[in-house]
Structure 1
Amino acid sequence: MNAKSIHRGESTRTRISAVLLVVLTLIVMGRLCAAEFVQVDDPQTIANNPAFNPPQVAKIAEYWIKPEGSLYIPLTYSVWGALAFIARVAQPDEFGSFLNPWVFHTANVVLHCITTLIVFAILRAIVKNRSAAWVGAAIFAVHPVQVETVAWASGTKDLLCALFICAAVLALLRSRERNRGVILANVFTLAACFSKPTGIIAPAVLLIIDTLVCGTNWRRSLRTLWPTFVIAVAFAIVGVIVQPPLMTEVTPLWQRPLVALDALSFYVWKLLWPANLGIDYGRTPARIIASGAIWWTWIVPVALIAIVVAARNRLIIAGISLFILGVAPVLGLVPFTFQTISTVADHYMYPAMLGVALLVATATTTFEACLQKRCQEPFSGKRFLTPFFVGCVLMVFLLMRAFAAAGTWRNNSTLFANALDVNPRSAFSHTNWGVALAKHGDESAALDHFRQAVAVDPDYAFGHSNLGGFLRARGQYTGAAAEYRELLRVYRKQRNFDPALGVSLQQVIDQLEQLAARHTTQPTAQPATQPTTQEAR
Structure 2
Amino acid sequence: MKVRILILIIISFAIYSNSLFNSFVWVDHTQIIQKEHIIQDLNGLVNVFSSGMPGFSSLIKGGYYRPIINLAYSIDYWIWGLNPPGFHLTNVLLHTLTGILLYFVLIRMLAKEPVAFLSVVFFLAHPIHTEAVSWISGRADMVFTLFYLLSLMFYLKACTDQTQGSSKYKHYLISGLFFIFSLLSKEMAITLPLIIILYDICFRFRDKLSDITQAARGYIFYFGILGGYLLFRYAILGGVGSGQGIPGNSFVTTFFTTSRIFAGYIWQLLFPAKLAVADVVRLANTIMDPSVIGSVLVLLLLIVAGFLFLRSLPDISFGIFWFFVTLIPVSNFVPALHLRAERFLYIPSIGFCIILASLLWGWYALMRTKGHQWRWVVISTAIAITIAYGVLTFDRNFDWKNDITIFSDAIRKSPYTREAYVELGVTYREIKKYKEAERAFLAAIEEREGYASFVQPQVVRQNLAEIYLIAGQPLKAVEHLLWLTQYFRNSYEFQRDLGIAYMQIGRPEWANVKFRQALSTAPPDPRLMDIFQRAIRHTESAPGEPESDQLQQRLPLEMIHYDLGTAHLQLKEYNAAISAFSIALSINPDSINSRLGITNARKEMKETNP
Which TM bucket (shorter chain)? 0.7 to 0.9
CA distance in 2, matches of 1:119, 1:174: 14
Indicate the SS of the match to 1:276.
coil
Alpha-carbon spacing, 1:406–1:517, altered in 2? closer, same or farther (3 Å): closer
Alpha carbons of structure 1 residues 150 and 160: separation in structure 2 relative to 1, 3 Å: same
Deviation at residue 443 of structure 1 after TM alignment: 2.1
Instruction: Indicate if the aligned counterparts of 2:477 and 2:501 stay in contact, CA closer than 8 A.
Output: no
Residue 65 of structure 1 deviates from its aligned partner by 1.2
**1:433 aligns to what?**
424
Change (3 A) 1:418 1:15: same
Give 1:109's aligned residue: 92
Q: Which position in structure 1 is the counterpart of 2:296? A: 298
Which deviates the most, 242-251 or 352-361?
242-251
Match of 1:414 in 2: 405
Question: 2:100, 2:282 → 1: CA distance?
Answer: 35
Q: What is the TM-score of this pair, normalised by structure 2?
A: 0.72
1:87-113 alpha-carbon deviations (Å, 9 max, x no partner): 12xxxxxxxxxx111111110000000
Match of 1:43 among 29, 53, 59: 29
CA-CA distance at 1:291 after TM superposition: 7.0
- For the aligned residue pairs, the C-alpha RMSD in angstroms reads 3.3
2:321 maps to which residue?
Answer: 321
TM-aligned CA deviation for residue 477 of structure 1: 4.9
State how 1:264-303 maps to structure 2 within 5 Å. Answer: 264-285=262-283, 293-303=291-301
1-side partners of 2:196 and 2:462: how far apart?
44
Q: Which runs of 4 or more aligned residues in structure 1 lie more than 6 Å from their structure 2 counterparts after TM superposition?
A: 287-291, 382-386, 521-526
Task: Work out whether 1:85 is the aligned partner of 2:85.
Answer: no
Q: Check 1:469–1:198 CA distance in 2 against 1; reply closer, same or farther (3 A cut).
A: farther
Q: What one-letter code is carried by the residue in structure 2 that aligns with 1:129?
A: K
The CA distance in 1 between the partners of 2:175 and 2:483, in whole Å, is 50
* Structure-2 residue corresponding to 1:76: 69
- Tell me, yes or no, if the aligned pair for 1:426 and 1:456 is still in contact at 8 Å: no
Paired with 2:248 and 2:325, the residues of 1 have a C-alpha distance of 23
Q: What residue identity is the alignment partner of 1:82? A: I
Judged with a 3 Å threshold, the aligned counterparts in structure 2 of structure 1 residues 229 and 471 are, in CA distance, closer, same or farther, namely: farther
Cα distance change of structure 1 residues 190 and 24 upon mapping to structure 2, 3 Å threshold: same
Aligned length: 482
* Residue of structure 2 aligned with 1:227, choices 201, 205, 221: 221
**Paired AA for residue 297 in structure 2:** I
Residues 279-288 or 324-333, more deviating: 279-288
Deviates further, 24-33 or 363-372: 363-372
What is the one-letter code of the residue matched to 2:32? I
Choose from 370, 391, 401 the match for 2:382. 391
Q: 2:51 aligns with which of 59, 66, 73?
A: 66
Q: Is the 8 A contact 1:468 1:481 kept in 2?
A: yes
Contact 1:51/1:59 (8 A) holds in 2: no
AA at the equivalent of 1:115: T
Higher relative contact order (CA 8 A, sep 6+): 1
Q: CA deviation at 1:509?
A: 4.6
1:207 aligns with 2:190: no
Residues 265 and 286 of structure 1, relative CA distance in 2, 3 Å threshold: closer
Aligned residue type for 1:210: D
Larger Rg: 2
CA distance in 2, matches of 1:59, 1:197: 22
Tell me, yes or no, if the aligned pair for 1:35 and 1:101 is still in contact at 8 Å.
yes
- Any conservation in 1 of the 2:197–2:219 contact (CA below 8 Å)? yes
| 1:504 partnered with 2:504 | no
Unaligned runs of 5+ in 2: 56-62, 450-455, 522-610
Superposition TM-score, scaled by structure 1 size: 0.81
Deviations 1:467-510 (A, max 9, x none): 23433455655544533555578xx7xxxxxxxxx4424x5555
Q: In the superposition, relative to structure 1, how do residues 479 and 221 fare at CA in structure 2: closer, same or farther (>3 Å)?
A: farther
1:446-487 CA deviation, whole Å, 9 max, x = no partner?
Answer: 222112211255954432332234334556555445335555
Greater Cα shift, 221-230 or 25-34: 221-230
For 2:367, the equivalent position in structure 1 comes to 371
Residues 50-81 of structure 1: per-residue CA shift (max 9 Å, x gap):
564x9435424421111122321101101111
In the alignment, what sits opposite 1:448?
439
1:27 aligns with 2:11: no
Following superposition, the deviation at residue 243 of structure 1 comes to 3.9
CA contact (8 A) 1:200 1:233 kept: no
Alignment partner, residue 188 of structure 1? 178
* 1:203 partner SS: helix
Superposed displacement of residue 26, structure 1? 1.4
Specify the alignment match of 2:461 in structure 1. 464
Structure 1 residue runs without a partner (length 5+): 1-13, 89-98, 493-501, 529-537
Evaluate the alpha carbon distance shift between residue 117 and residue 293 of structure 1 in structure 2; reply closer, same or farther with a 3 A threshold: same
